[in-house]
Chains A and B, each alone.
Chain A
């Protein structure tokens, strides 16, 4: 994941992605996913290009992007750790767990550690209620977390 792409590159790569996917039915969400996979976030300058190519207005694309929390408007750290904050996880000690993770990393939700290693985000919900409290690290889920398991996770991303 390269964090320093010039805006010219972004334009060209966005165009490639859109051209490849615009024949899909309902192409906007898959395109945005692909863009986020490519750049790690959805750069603002992609939006007018997507709008033009899909024959939508800038406003419409903006509305969709801002509706989904999963689409980020800025780059993340090398890893993304998501803690499930929904009811089942809360009832299984999710709150304490979150506080512990925050203090271990020294950041709050939506923040990235100074060394650029990890970004912490809340999520509602991972659907792992039977294995609460749960978290997701770079797309991989982890269940039945306790203090030690969390410590291991943090050590892994810090490595």
Chain B
């Protein structure tokens, strides 16, 4: 019970009755699934007499050895002890010395690892001539030789720039580094991008421009010193549960909370947690609201002049202050377009500016907008104006979606950046890599994912190597993605399962799970954590070996025998990783970059004595409404998110017992909107936008405001991204998932494309000589 209250902060357990009749009860004498319990496992962990034990220990037996590794779900990057019995994983136990999670865990990391042995996992390479053919299982040699030959042919036929690669935020730093190296050294172009494009690229851009580094400023421990927290566009109790528990603990100690989110998320009000201010803004008005907070701080003189004079450029501040003080940024004006009561904005601004250590945590609700980068800058401005940078308890902290999204950005996965966020046009940086790799690197940025797809439709982009990302399900405007993929001649997918993208693939290379390889993940606090191999890869090779073998097949001379050698190469070429090595990580447990001569112990908090870029830069943040507007045909705004027990496109969690909590995606709709349209709770509705339509079942709730609907994107049969448009962030092309104008109407079954899609998916998953993969 105390574990539930003090560690997790859910208060799901109680003692019912008294004396000899007292029993531990979940919720109001409910079963665990219906109770408030979130299955974090903290009580099982704390039980001193093993009365509470994982069922797997009973099924498999006591573990006989264990390895400390890092969870491969969200950006918190929890350390776990993988307890093994031979080659079999018995249980995952949160590691007490884990510097990110401090011994806590959530339902995904602790229990949802069953996908690694799921029957649908593909273990043999496969190829096919056309995507309408069934798959043919082949040897690794044949698959790689075929891929190499195809890529070379396409480059010969259509030019060097006709192929590219996509790195994965799910794979290790070393694997990501190799993929970008393969593209830059092997393909000879800069056509490499990563799924961070669709989530946190605006963070990189916005924080890079204002502070000088493309990363969060704090470690997670910092939350223990904060006094006022603003959460913008993030839902930590579902998306980053372990961080949420640590935040809740601080809130119970008296810290204040401000939530900026269209939905009434759990952080707004849950047992012993109550937000002081909830600003339920209309989707798409982030910039206006954040700038309005700044308006109040500037016009009421609540800014930290000493900090700004010391750390920032005063004249830039004056320019920015004059800008935000303009009357159209006042809360009263902003109320008209955002729907947030002016008094709430004023109250929140005053609280943040005067409440002590102020920290800002934000998620994809900030970045996945046409003004994502602008919002990030507005947030950075706010932190600088209130002097909340450079010490524990403050800062600007992106909550990263994937386990290694930070790492994949660090490793040069963007078409314009080499490892360490150095632009490809920088001669000195290119020189380092050119000498080491013995090739010439183009000084022109390559294609971004949406550009690759555009080019494919135009016929100039023909082949792609996709490691561990399901772009068809996760990227916006599904129909455009599928058209792009269908136009290519060689799509290579490296993944654990035949994912949705693989429906359009010509080569499938089986991937390995995080349990089957060595490497490092970098979490949202820039912490480089070791991933350790606990079992031999069931598919034969770890992902880095697959990439290396592909490079060899293309004639490159790569001879890494262990990922530590890749890390040594990264350290040698990238200043912020200079001191990082596997030996060093072994000694330290983990370090937070930058880790070099200046900061040998790593850097838990950045910008301590001044900004990385020198002076902090204030940037004007003019609100420009998105082109995606509601009108008579599409009067509602759709926004998307995810829930606790499932993870992103669900390729992994859908293949574990976690589906008991979430069997399907539902559309959350306010009772008023539902009544107007004759929609009942649980009935099928058709969701339409300018891009397309889909059907799913409705869930009537007051968590969403009238005029706003919300859904998750965990299940491929729903494909919420058929609905989303191809509008994107002005600076980084990060797609605008979070705002789509839609209409909702009652429906009696799946829409036509869902039927077609199902059929096509079934067709394209056929493997010669095997029964149809049943999904």
Q: Which residues of A contact B (CB under 8 A)?
A: 44, 47-48, 51-52, 55-63, 66-67
Instruction: With both chains docked as a complex, state the minimum distance between the C-beta of A93 and any C-beta of chain B, in angstroms.
Output: 26
Q: Which residue of A lies closest to B10 (CB)?
A: A57
Q: Which residue of B lies closest to A47 (CB)?
A: B28
Q: Which residue of A lies closest to B26 (CB)?
A: A59
Instruction: With both chains docked as a complex, state the minimum distance between the C-beta of A8 and any C-beta of chain B, in angstroms.
Output: 15
Q: Which residue of A lies closest to B23 (CB)?
A: A66
Instruction: With both chains docked as a complex, state the minimum distance between the C-beta of A102 and any C-beta of chain B, in angstroms.
Output: 22
Residues of B within 8 A of A61 (CB): 28
29 A–B contacts from the bound complex (CB under 8 Å): A44-B28, A51-B271, A52-B269, A55-B270, A55-B274, A56-B271, A57-B11, A57-B12, A57-B27, A57-B36, A58-B27, A58-B35, A58-B36, A59-B12, A59-B13, A59-B14, A59-B26, A59-B27, A59-B35, A59-B36, A60-B271, A62-B16, A62-B25, A62-B27, A62-B29, A63-B14, A63-B16, A63-B25, A66-B16
A66 touches B17 (CB 8 A): yes
Q: Which residue of B lies closest to A62 (CB)?
A: B28
A59 touches B18 (CB 8 A): no
B residues 252-273 touching A (CB-CB < 8 Å): 269-273
Q: Which residue of B lies closest to A63 (CB)?
A: B14
Instruction: Report how far A48 CA is from B12 CA in the complex, Å.
Output: 12
Residues of B within 8 A of A59 (CB): 11-14, 25-28, 35-36
Tell me whether chain B's interface is mostly helix, strand or loop, or mixed: loop
B15 within 8 A of A: yes
Given contacts A55-B272, A62-B25, 19 further A-B contacts (CB under 8 A): A55-B271, A55-B273, A56-B11, A57-B10, A57-B11, A57-B27, A59-B12, A59-B14, A59-B25, A59-B26, A59-B36, A60-B271, A62-B16, A62-B27, A62-B28, A62-B29, A63-B15, A66-B16, A67-B15
Q: Which residue of A lies closest to B4 (CB)?
A: A59
Instruction: With both chains docked as a complex, state the minimum distance between the C-beta of A28 and any C-beta of chain B, in angstroms.
Output: 13
Instruction: Report how far A44 CA is from B30 CA in the complex, Å.
Output: 12
Instruction: Report how far A80 CA is from B415 CA in the complex, Å.
Output: 79
Residues of A within 8 A of B25 (CB): 59, 62-63, 66
Instruction: With both chains docked as a complex, state the minimum distance between the C-beta of A57 and any C-beta of chain B, in angstroms.
Output: 4
B17 touches A56 (CB 8 A): no
Instruction: With both chains docked as a complex, state the minimum distance between the C-beta of B28 and any C-beta of chain A, in angstroms.
Output: 4
Residues of A within 8 A of B271 (CB): 51, 55-57, 60
Q: Which residue of B lies closest to A51 (CB)?
A: B271
Residues of B within 8 A of A52 (CB): 269
Instruction: With both chains docked as a complex, state the minimum distance between the C-beta of B255 and any C-beta of chain A, in angstroms.
Output: 15
Instruction: With both chains docked as a complex, state the minimum distance between the C-beta of A30 and any C-beta of chain B, in angstroms.
Output: 20
| Chain B window 21-39, contacts with chain A (Cβ cutoff 8 Å), 1 for yes, 0 for no | 0000111110000011000
Residues of B within 8 A of A48 (CB): 28
Instruction: Report how far A146 CA is from B271 CA in the complex, Å.
Output: 51
For the complex of A and B, list the 4 residue pairs with the smallest distance between their C-beta atoms, beginning with the closest. A63-B14, A57-B11, A57-B271, A66-B16
| Chain B window 633-667, contacts with chain A (Cβ cutoff 8 Å), 1 for yes, 0 for no | 00000000000000000000000000000000000
Q: Which residue of A lies closest to B16 (CB)?
A: A66
Instruction: Report how far A101 CA is from B201 CA in the complex, Å.
Output: 79
A67 touches B36 (CB 8 A): no
> For B13, B16, B28, B269, which residue has the most chain A Cβ atoms within 10 angstroms?
B28
Residues of B within 8 A of A63 (CB): 14-16, 25
B residues 486-534 touching A (CB-CB < 8 Å): none
Instruction: Report how far A112 CA is from B377 CA in the complex, Å.
Output: 69
Instruction: Report how far A58 CA is from B15 CA in the complex, Å.
Output: 12
Residues of B within 8 A of A57 (CB): 10-12, 14, 27, 36, 271
| Chain B window 404-443, contacts with chain A (Cβ cutoff 8 Å), 1 for yes, 0 for no | 0000000000000000000000000000000000000000
Q: Which residue of B lies closest to A66 (CB)?
A: B16
Instruction: Report how far A57 CA is from B269 CA in the complex, Å.
Output: 11
